[in-house]
Amino acid sequence: MSQFSLSSFAPVADQIFVAVAQPAGVNIGLIVGPEGALVIDTGSSPAQGAAIRAAAEAFAGVPVTSVLVTHWHYDHFFGLAGFAGLPSFGHENLLAWLGRPEAAQAALELGVELNELASPTVTFSLAKVLNAGGRRVEALHFGPAHTDGDVVVYVPDAQLVFAGDLLESAGPPSFGPDCRLRDWPIALDGILGLTREETKIVPGHGPVMDRMDAFDQRSRISALYGQVEYVIGLGKKVEDAYAAAEWPFDEATVRAALPVAYAQLAAAGVTPKRQLPLLGTN
């Protein structure tokens, strides 16, 4: 079986559906209007993107008329070329990533040709109103967080949010070197400001979440950053940090996040200082 596959679309709200694309288990959104449909995220290769487009049109019964990418990571972005000829949307910071080594390495590991990948035809910095086949959809950027170009999709008539990888329910969030850990909770505040008790949130990976799930994950990310500041204040080097505090995520997640957090704090001038012994102690 090919590593690139797609599950069937399943309903999450009125005329809004989600399928799961492998190899990364990414949620692919489908918002259906009376005259067309909007696809959210595109899979991991141009061929998979084309397959997602065909599956979406067959399922919806209307043409896909536009597509949006929530951020630059390969499982969301690399399928965009499969939607050639359609208006495609993404944050303006997406454009630079195709020329960076991280994208080249991801393409090499997937067996995807980097020169076959596509950029969005329309980019924006803060917000964009989209027409999903006659249905209003809002695309919003709340600042750097999981990446420097995360886009949230809000469907007002359904009280539903596509959060991209700002939120995850299949496991803990991914704290890669391109994340902005300090700013991530602020971006999540933007999502929480959109939501009500009944709002459904589709994360980048995993089952649908609710507002309380988002609150919980926001508090854990904020606590992670706060604990890193705390252990740096104790003078702990990165290799000693895990044992020096209690953490809001599992050990593997925290150990992966610590070098990222230490590097970002060091860039801001915050580094471990040698702690002087207390008076009267040996």
What is the distance between the alpha carbons of residues 16 and 7, in angstroms, rounded to a whole number?
Answer: 15
One-letter-per-residue 3-state SS of the chain: CCCCEECCCEEEECCEEEEEEECCCEEEEEEECCCCEEEECCCCCHHHHHHHHHHHHHHHCCCEEEEECCCCCHHHHCCHHHHCCCCEEEECCHHHHCCCHHHHHHHHHHCCCHHHCCCCCEEECCEEEEECCCCEEEEECCCCCCCCCCCEEEEHHHCEEEEECCCCCCCCCCCCCCCCCCCHHHHHHHHHHHCCCCCEEEECCCCCECHHHHHHHHHHHHHHHHHHHHHHHCCCCHHHHHHHCCCCCCHHHHHHHHHHHHHHHHHCCCCCCCCCCCCCCC
For 200, the token pair is 């459904």
pLDDT at 3 (0 to 100): 85
pLDDT at 116 (0 to 100): 96
pLDDT at 245 (0 to 100): 97
CA atoms within 13 A on the CB side of 64: 29
Q: Measured on CA atoms in the order 195, 200, 203, 209, is the torsion positive or negative?
A: positive
pLDDT at 1 (0 to 100): 37
pLDDT at 273 (0 to 100): 84
For 126, the token pair is 């803060």
For 255, the token pair is 């150990």
pLDDT at 191 (0 to 100): 98
Among residues 51, 124, 116, which one has the least CA distance to residue 91?
A: 124
Q: Which amino acid is at 127?
A: A
What is the distance between the alpha carbons of residues 187 and 152, in angstroms, rounded to a whole number?
Answer: 10
pLDDT at 230 (0 to 100): 97
pLDDT at 105 (0 to 100): 96
Digits of tens for pLDDT over the chain (282 positions)?
368 999 999 999 999 999 999 999 999 999 999 999 999 999 999 999 999 999 999 999 999 999 999 999 999 999 999 999 999 999 999 999 999 999 999 999 999 999 999 999 999 999 999 999 999 999 999 999 999 999 999 999 999 999 999 999 999 999 999 999 999 999 999 999 999 999 999 999 999 999 999 999 999 999 999 999 999 999 999 999 999 999 999 999 999 999 999 999 999 999 998 655 555 555
What is the distance between the alpha carbons of residues 132 and 130, in angstroms, rounded to a whole number?
Answer: 6
